[in-house]
Amino acid sequence: MFRLDEKVALITGAAGGIGRKIAHTLYEQGAYLALTDMNEEGLKALKAEFGDHVEYFVANLGNADAVKQLVADVEEKFGRIDILVNNAGLTRDNLFIRMSDEEWQLVLDVNLSAGFKLARAVVRGMMKRRYGRIIGMASVVGVMGNAGQANYSASKAGMIAMNKCLAQEVGSRGVTVNSIAPGFIRTPMTDVLPDDVKAALLAKIPEQKLGEAQDIANVVAFLASDEAQYITGQTIHVNGGMAMI
């Protein structure tokens, strides 16, 4: 089940922890991989972990021209894009009254606008081929909000709403569009949190543990597969029960 043989998957933010796990999971299911990130060394190291049918593309998704060039380069290399995983994201946390215009705009540009531009660029070909999967990485805070993250929360809420709109427009053409909203996932950043902070965090999660990157990658693989062909416009929450939505 969930085979993706010879499907071409473009994964943004591929050099990060969740991106790497998504890449490995889709590759194990037979997908060809187009990996992109700003971190060239991370991309080189990641590509070295695979065999054939994997290429990386360094791109700054905050730059509109770079987004256009990325899609053109991937299509030149692989001929098409069947699966788009809008995983790239960043944070610039600050209290609302202290947040600068630059902090607001950068997060919106990378987390939301780049995903819009990528989806717009790839969906035309998907519609012509009557097959496509667009998957956006949202967040639990895009639904619940979080103090100090007005920009990040807004970008993730926008991702959810944007994907619902696109899903309605392209559903009849064999293209599904969904979002995944992770809760707190174990990363190097959470590993170094003080014990009291971790305890307070876990107290909010019924499963009493942080999620793993593999938990997110598993859902990506499912949504990208033929088994999920009747699921579109949805937000899949992966949060250990922290938010039951």
Q: Quick check: 205 pLDDT over 70?
A: yes
Catalytic residue among 27, 56, 131, 152: 152
Q: Quick check: 153 pLDDT over 80?
A: yes
Q: How far apart are CA 24 and CA 6, in angstroms?
A: 14
Q: Which residues of 6-30 are buried (b: 16+ CB within 10 A; e: fewer)?
A: ebbbbbbbbbbbbbbbbbbbbbebe
Hey, CA dihedral for 229, 68, 151, 9, is it positive or negative?
positive
Q: Which pTM was predicted?
A: 0.96
> Among all chains, which residue has been given the structure tokens 């990528």?
118
pLDDT at 189: 67
Q: Is 56 a catalytic residue?
A: no
- What are the domain boundaries of the chain? 8-237
> Among all chains, which residue has been given the structure tokens 């060809």?
32
pLDDT digit string (tens) for 23-78? Answer: 999 999 999 999 999 999 999 999 999 999 999 999 999 888 999 999 999 999 99
Mean pLDDT for the chain?
A: 95
Q: Quick check: 1 pLDDT over 90?
A: no
Q: Are 119 and 84 in contact (CB under 8 A)?
A: yes
Structural tokens at position 116 = 């819009």
DSSP helix/strand/coil, 73: helix
Q: 234 falls in which pLDDT band (50, 70, 90)?
A: very high
Query: 187 or 164: whose pLDDT is higher?
Result: 164
- CATH no. of 8-237: 3.40.50.720
pLDDT digit string (tens) for 78-124? Answer: 999 999 999 999 999 999 999 999 999 999 999 999 999 999 999 99
